[in-house]
Structure 1
Amino acid sequence: MSEHEDLQLVGDFPFVPKQERAQQKRNSLLESGRELFIKNGYEPTTAKEIATHAGVAIGTFYRYFSDKRQLLMALLQDQLDKMLPPEPNWIRTNPEELLAAILENHYKQLEQIGLHQVLPELIIRDPELAEVLIQSRKNWHKRILAGLQLAKKKGRTWPDLELEMVAWSILVILENVPKKEKEVGQKTDYMELAKLICRLVFPPKGMTI
């Protein structure tokens, strides 16, 4: 079940297709919108451009979507959970290797979706979307905090950790990996990233706490 299931991003669609051919047209519009939003930005992209890119008439666009915002929100509704940072597992035998593998898979998936590039532009203009993202981050924080609390009960973490702060710190680090790669122009070493995060949680091996 989605963590934001009760926060609907889109209202009723003008028409929800059941026939395969109509579904293909709607999916083509969704994919065209995704590509154009990523390439040109949300604001410059028009419904007419999306329709043209999808190879359909503008009337067909409005048959399925009220406007370009509804189309974008439909895209986000399906992908939002996948765009959030992954949830580490702190009690596995080798959390660093596991976390590195999870992170690499997550950022490859994020790059394929591409919509994270559009979010900064949207959040300042769309309070509803901003609220959904805030709630999603809060839900992620609760999950990661629960994992940290379990690890602490098992005596695996630094004993004096303020776990809520650690959870938020990890989230901020993971959220900014794409920004860091863009600014520095260098791909992330996921094992080094996993080591950094695990050092926030665990003492080095062999160290007495």
Structure 2
Amino acid sequence: MGQRVPRQARSRAKYNAILQAALELFGERGYTETTIDAIVERSGVSVGVFYSYFASKQQLLLALFRQEMEADDDGLFVLPQRLLTLSETEAYIWKILYQRSGLLRARQELLLLDPEFAQHERAYQQRRHERLTWDLEQLRQAGYIREDIRCSTCAWMLLAIVSRLTDMLDEKSEQEMAVEVQAAALMIYHLLHPDI
């Protein structure tokens, strides 16, 4: 059975509640430890409703990935078209971390469990890299960031930083994370911004 995306508002609300519950639970417990029963309970729908939209937990995760890719197209990971201050850079990193933490944690687990998924992941990361490279190039052409950086390499570095910070969410306290995010923001700020 393929995934069915509802069109009616009430059905769409249930579908979105399932996605949100899964995203939260994946962040709290991880993909493996999150059960369909837990997703159903958190979302407030019945098991039958869950299976009317998703054939499995993996199909639900893939739906979350599709939603994330659409969000990227709407500007979730896209850099604003202006020079960011240091505090805005830090706030932007926090935004990405908290909006992505559950999904990134589930993605990491699934990569270990499902070799086929790695192919999907490579394509997804390549798409994110291309989008971020394009954004950086636009900022460079507008004079908002350094002229002497290679946008493609810089995009990979930024994606790697976000990935590592996401890993740290499970490893470090809130205070330790604040220090790491401040350090990352400072490094990114000085990497991208023209010397004054």
Output the TM-score relative to the length of structure 2.
0.67
The yes-or-no answer on 1:167 pairing with 2:158 is no
TM superposition shift of 1:165: 2.4
TM superposition shift of 1:146: 3.4
Q: Which residue of 2 aligns with 1:188?
A: 178
Percent identity between the two aligned chains: 27
Alpha-carbon distance in structure 1 between the residues aligned to 2:113 and 2:58: 11
Flag structure 1 segments of 5+ consecutive residues without an equivalent: 1-10
Q: Is the 8 A contact 2:97 2:162 kept in 1?
A: no
Say which of 93, 97, 120 aligns to 1:103: 93
Alpha-carbon distance in structure 2 between the residues aligned to 1:81 and 1:182: 26
Alpha-carbon distance in structure 2 between the residues aligned to 1:20 and 1:87: 29
Match for 2:31: what amino acid? Y
Alpha-carbon distance in structure 1 between the residues aligned to 2:26 and 2:78: 28
Distance 1:145 1:46, change over 3 A: closer
1:1-209 equivalences in 2 (<5 Å):
12-13=2-3, 17=6, 22-23=11-12, 25-51=14-40, 58-80=47-69, 82=71, 86-88=77-79, 92-111=82-101, 114-150=102-138, 151=140, 154=143, 157=146, 159=148, 161-185=149-173, 186-188=176-178, 190=181, 192-202=183-193, 204-205=195-196
TM superposition shift of 1:46: 4.0
SS in 2 for 1:187: helix
Size of the aligned set, in residue pairs, is: 190
RMSD: 3.8
Output the TM-score relative to the length of structure 1.
0.64
Q: Is the 8 A contact 2:144 2:193 kept in 1?
A: no
SS in 2 for 1:115: helix
Larger radius of gyration: 1
TM superposition shift of 1:103: 2.4
Q: Is the 8 A contact 1:145 1:163 kept in 2?
A: yes
Alpha-carbon distance in structure 2 between the residues aligned to 1:126 and 1:38: 19
Q: Is the 8 A contact 1:86 1:103 kept in 2?
A: no
Alpha-carbon distance in structure 2 between the residues aligned to 1:124 and 1:69: 13
TM superposition shift of 1:196: 0.7
TM superposition shift of 1:120: 0.7
